[in-house]
Amino acid sequence: MNVPELYGSRVFNDDVMRQKLPKDVYKSLTNTIATGGVIDPAIAGTVASAMKDWAIEKGATHFTHWFQPLSGVTAEKHDAFISPLGDKVIMEFSGKELIKGESDASSFPSGGLRATFEARGYTAWDPASYAFVKDGTLYIPTAFCSYTGEALDTKTPLLRSMDALNTQGLRILRLFGDNTTTRVCATVGAEQEYFLVNKKYFDRRKDLSYCGRTLFGAPAPKGQEMEDHYFGPLKTAVSAFMSELDRELWALGINAKTKHNEAAPSQHELAPIYTTANVAVDQNMLTMEYMKKVAERHSLVCLLHEKPYAGVSGSGKHNNWALATDTGKNLTDPGKKPGENMQFLLILAAVLQAVDDYQGLLRLSIATAGNDSRLGADEAPPAIISIFVGEELERIIKSIIHGQAYAGASRATMNLGVPSIPTFRRDTTDRNRTSPFAFTGKKFEFRMPGAAQNIAMPNIVLNTAVAKSFCEYADRLENAADFHAELHELLREVFTKHERILFSGNGYSREWEIEAESRGLCNYRRSVDVYPHMTDDENVALFEKFGVMNRTELESRQDILLENYAKIINIEAQTMIVMASREYIPAVEEYMCRLATTANQKREVLGPGSIGVEKDVLSKLSTYNEQAYAALEALKKADKDAIAQGDHLAVARAFADRVVPAMQALRAPVDAMETLMPSALWPVPTYGEMTYKQ
């Protein structure tokens, strides 16, 4: 395999455009991509024709506008290139078809923006994200909006937030004498965690099929307590899957870089190299799609749920966020002397202020029913938002707050005492794996997003909130009589006010919960508790100020989140009801009958004292079975009552308050019965089989 030749071979990228487009068209298009400007309609036809010819060379017969509706997944409608010409057809693709498409906007989640009879919606080409060929079709990344202009997708507000960040970021750079940079861009690298399970086991679990996670299951004798899976040797089947996945992603121009076993058995991770935020989101959606497709070819199923198995680590999607310029500078790199890098310190201040001011909005950006079961333990950060910056930066911040000189941290040399192993320089700061938002060298790692979610919303919040900080700083510093004096005073004020968001300790501890409350930090343990805050006045004002989303668009998203939350838990509850009533309880009752028959036979032959074991197991199973049946009926009632509530908020709260506890109450006796049943008679694969037999 020649990786350089394979890489990007299915992408209409810069190299292809340079070869296929006339020089003036290429220059106009790449300038639009680089500056985020408006595309010249006059070149659209030429670009479309070149795209079509290239795609046909790659085996494509159709094209599709590929977009990201508010369903959490991608959407596509395929149209053939064919156009009738008498008794024959020719292959055509116009500039109009490239720039604009039409879809049924009422068939996607709209949060009330579109009624069923108000169907028209539009897709619009995003030239900043390269088109690609997949499965015989030319895929054109697009935005999606309603007939009345509201954003019905995740890409549109993301692009708007990137524009806001660029505008305000350039103002900051100009303050420091940078007059060459023409664009400031958020870059993202999304580490993707996932589980693999053998398809033959997956097919026998209704909970995995319908919900993506197990709703029942007793712990396996061995989980992750031996800490031997993380970075461990790859199993043959897993290695083959990963190798094919790499090839598929590289062909699509996705920089799949790192792969390894994660902390839990059958859990793994893939990490890409950074790229611009909108491209990173597109590529992560493709990565998740290909993880599932490639897994099936290897008789595996990829589980992207945040908590497929209780009691072991869940899966996140660490959102590594940084700022870069079109000239190649990383603005979130503190350099060798961060205490003297005033531009970096101002950017650091902006991030601290953004996260502190909008900590609830950040928590909301990753709030899902699945993520609720993950946050707070087992490699996942807590629900409380805080920032870890490391010992060196924290000392710099404190020195600025107290007006003290900072001497700088020395970098120790690590000598392991083995002559053949080279010495190396130790970093000036450690890491904190319990931190939700950590500075990790030259980037900020937001560790809270769940593995299954589209990462657009966390980046929309980050981009917009940081843009607001930049705007406030630029307004103040652009008019300062003494720039340097005003800059130092601004840093002191910001670090003093927002020092409360800094935390370097154990985020899992009860002591931190108490301390965080005393600091005034938010602690939304459940998604349903934070959803209503999406339309708080300060959040609406933030998004409207920078044209990212208006109140109507935010209200629609809030409505969708509440409705989806209730739907997800309802599906899980219904699945538990089916599994308990049709699989678990009947299997247990059948075994109890066998035990009773065996006990009677032994009593007749050996006497009453011979049936102690059978009697004990029968007694326990009978008790648990009665508890399970009672819990089953209680879950049915709770689910029915929750559905009957009024608006979406009332329904979602009813599911959180009543249905989720009822689900837990049903699981407990069923899992207890599993430990008493013969393996051959248990109706579904166990945790041990699913996590250790790939």
Any idea which of 174-188, 374-388, 469-483, 624-638 has the lowest mean pLDDT? 374-388
Burial of residue 606, with CB atoms counted within 10 A of its CB: 0-12 exposed, 13-18 middle, 19 or more buried: exposed
User: Chain-centre distance of CA 443, in angstroms?
Assistant: 17
Is 558 domain-assigned?
Answer: no
The whole-number average pLDDT for the span 73-89 is: 90
The whole-number average pLDDT for the span 366-386 is: 89
Give the pLDDT of residue 206: 98
Q: Within this chain, do residues 240 and 294 fall inside the same structural domain, yes or no?
A: yes
Give the pLDDT of residue 600: 80
Give the pLDDT of residue 397: 94
Q: Which residues pair with 261 in a beta bridge?
A: 268
Nearest to 365 by CA among 313, 314, 301, 437: 437
The whole-number average pLDDT for the span 470-491 is: 96
Is 556 domain-assigned?
Answer: no
The whole-number average pLDDT for the span 80-96 is: 89
Give the pLDDT of residue 253: 97
Highest mean pLDDT of the ranges 507-516, 574-583, 611-620: 574-583
Nearest to 169 by CA among 400, 462, 385, 444: 462
Is 480 domain-assigned?
Answer: yes
Report the chain's C-alpha Rg in angstroms: 28
Give the pLDDT of residue 111: 81
Long-range contact set of residues 643-646: C-beta below 8 Å, sequence gap at least 24 = 643/570
What is the CATH number for 678?
Answer: 1.20.120.1560
The whole-number average pLDDT for the span 564-574 is: 97
Give yes or no for residue 266 having a pLDDT over 90. yes
Token output for 255: 């920089």
Give yes or no for residue 84 having a pLDDT over 90. no
Residue in this structure with the two tokens 């009589």, named with its chain if needed: 481
Is 410 domain-assigned?
Answer: yes
The whole-number average pLDDT for the span 150-162 is: 95
Domain boundary among 520, 549, 578: 549
Better-predicted residue by pLDDT, 84 or 388: 388
Q: What is the pLDDT of residues 206-215, one digit of tens each?
A: 999 999 999 9
pLDDT > 70: what percent of the chain? Answer: 95
Q: How confident is the model at residue 155 (pLDDT cuts 50, 70, 90)?
A: very high
Q: Within this chain, do residues 631 and 606 fall inside the same structural domain, yes or no?
A: yes
Is 363 domain-assigned?
Answer: yes
Q: Within this chain, do residues 269 and 375 fall inside the same structural domain, yes or no?
A: yes
Better-predicted residue by pLDDT, 85 or 158: 158
Give the pLDDT of residue 447: 95
Better-predicted residue by pLDDT, 589 or 694: 589
The whole-number average pLDDT for the span 357-376 is: 94
Q: Within this chain, do residues 119 and 268 fall inside the same structural domain, yes or no?
A: no
Q: Within this chain, do residues 102 and 243 fall inside the same structural domain, yes or no?
A: no
Give yes or no for residue 285 having a pLDDT over 90. yes
Give the pLDDT of residue 228: 82
Average pLDDT, the chain: 92
Give the pLDDT of residue 108: 86
- Number of domains making up the chain: 3
Residue pair 164/142 in contact by the 8 Å Cβ criterion = no
Give the pLDDT of residue 310: 93
Give yes or no for residue 409 having a pLDDT over 70. no
Give yes or no for residue 662 having a pLDDT over 70. yes
Is 568 domain-assigned?
Answer: yes
Residue pair 219/486 in contact by the 8 Å Cβ criterion = no
What is the CATH number for 19?
Answer: 3.10.20.70
Give the pLDDT of residue 110: 80
Give yes or no for residue 602 having a pLDDT over 80. no
Is 270 domain-assigned?
Answer: yes
Q: Within this chain, do residues 143 and 173 fall inside the same structural domain, yes or no?
A: no
Give yes or no for residue 417 having a pLDDT over 80. no
Q: How far is Cα 111 from Cα 538, in angstroms, rounded to an integer? A: 21
Q: Within this chain, do residues 542 and 569 fall inside the same structural domain, yes or no?
A: no
What is the CATH number for 347?
Answer: 3.30.590.10
pLDDT > 90: what percent of the chain? Answer: 79
The whole-number average pLDDT for the span 587-597 is: 92
Q: Within this chain, do residues 396 and 507 fall inside the same structural domain, yes or no?
A: yes
The whole-number average pLDDT for the span 516-529 is: 95
Give yes or no for residue 557 having a pLDDT over 80. yes
Is 92 domain-assigned?
Answer: yes
| Domain extent for 583 | 564-692
Dihedral through CA 53, CA 59, CA 63, CA 64, nearest 10? -140
Q: How far is Cα 321 from Cα 459, in angstroms, rounded to an integer? A: 8
Residue pair 276/129 in contact by the 8 Å Cβ criterion = no
Give the pLDDT of residue 203: 97
Domain boundary among 516, 549, 582: 549
Nearest to 133 by CA among 121, 125, 141: 141
Give the pLDDT of residue 257: 94
Give yes or no for residue 413 having a pLDDT over 80. no
Any idea which of 429-438, 451-460, 563-572 has the lowest mean pLDDT? 429-438
> pTM of the predicted model, to two decimals?
0.94
Dihedral through CA 293, CA 298, CA 299, CA 304, nearest 10? -50
Give the pLDDT of residue 426: 58
Q: Within this chain, do residues 185 and 258 fall inside the same structural domain, yes or no?
A: yes
Domain boundary among 153, 184, 204: 153
Q: Within this chain, do residues 100 and 178 fall inside the same structural domain, yes or no?
A: no
Q: Within this chain, do residues 64 and 43 fall inside the same structural domain, yes or no?
A: yes
Q: Within this chain, do residues 121 and 252 fall inside the same structural domain, yes or no?
A: no
**DSSP per residue, 154-205:** SHHHHHHHHHHHHHHHHHHHHHTT--S---EEEEEEEEEEEEEEEHHHHTT-
Q: How confident is the model at residue 229 (pLDDT cuts 50, 70, 90)?
A: confident
